[in-house]
Amino acid sequence: MFYYLVRWLVKFALLFLGLKYEGIHNLPKKGAAIIVANHVSFWDPLLVAVASPRPVHFMAKAELYQNQILARLFTALNAFPVKRGQADRNAIRKALKLLESGQILGIFPEGTRKKEVEMEAAQSGAAMLALKSGAQLIPAACVGTRRRFPWGWGRNTLMVRFGKPLDLTAYQQEKTKSASLDQISKEIMREINKLLYE
């Protein structure tokens, strides 16, 4: 209930500011999916959550959960902790459980927010989860959040673009091979980059 209330309030505010969506039809109406997006602003998860017709579950850095108030807030907003820089088995199990139950997971494959304009190489977590769960992998681009938030409210474009699901058929028999995960991760970043500059 809290998730939907916050989502509605944020959606109202962002639509007032001119938020636009593209490619909503690329999101599955049912079944598991992983939305993979660029991450330059604190606002990016909110934009993705607002743009998606279905609830999105996000991984959030474990440091945020050291504060009990923040921990409860993020949990109520469908987020769960992940320890960065290591293979967090608890987070992986949680993610797989969500996907196996047909939910949507939101992941920022660069691993953290980037101050630089250029995107960095993707970590392999999203690719691994997609192959293990069979979930659709949906690239997405958050456009304009760097310039508009939090310091300015200019007239620049504020948009979320969803791309077509990536075809992982060729990799289905190689669920844990690092070469396959690296290749998928590179493809993820290529597709996000295309969406950013359409």
Domain boundaries, the chain: 2-196
The pLDDT value recorded for residue 158 is: 84
List 155's β-bridge partners, or say none.
none
Distance CA 181, CA 31 (A): 22
Which residue matches tokens 């938030």? 149
CA quadruple 172, 177, 183, 185: dihedral, nearest 10: 90
User: Residue 114 has what pLDDT?
Assistant: 52
Q: What is the pLDDT of residue 1?
A: 79
pLDDT digits (tens, 9 = 90+) for 81-126: 998 877 789 999 999 999 999 999 999 987 555 544 455 556 889 9
Distant-in-sequence, close-in-space partners of 140: CB < 8 Å, separation ≥ 6: 23, 35, 36, 37, 48, 160, 161, 162, 163, 192, 195
Q: Which fold has domain 2-196?
A: Glycerol-3-phosphate (1)-acyltransferase (3.40.1130)
- Ranges of the chain with pLDDT below 70: 111-122, 147-156, 174-176
Alpha carbon 144 to its chain centroid, in Å, reads 16
State the pTM of this model: 0.89
- DSSP state, residue 32: -
Q: What is the pLDDT of residue 120?
A: 53
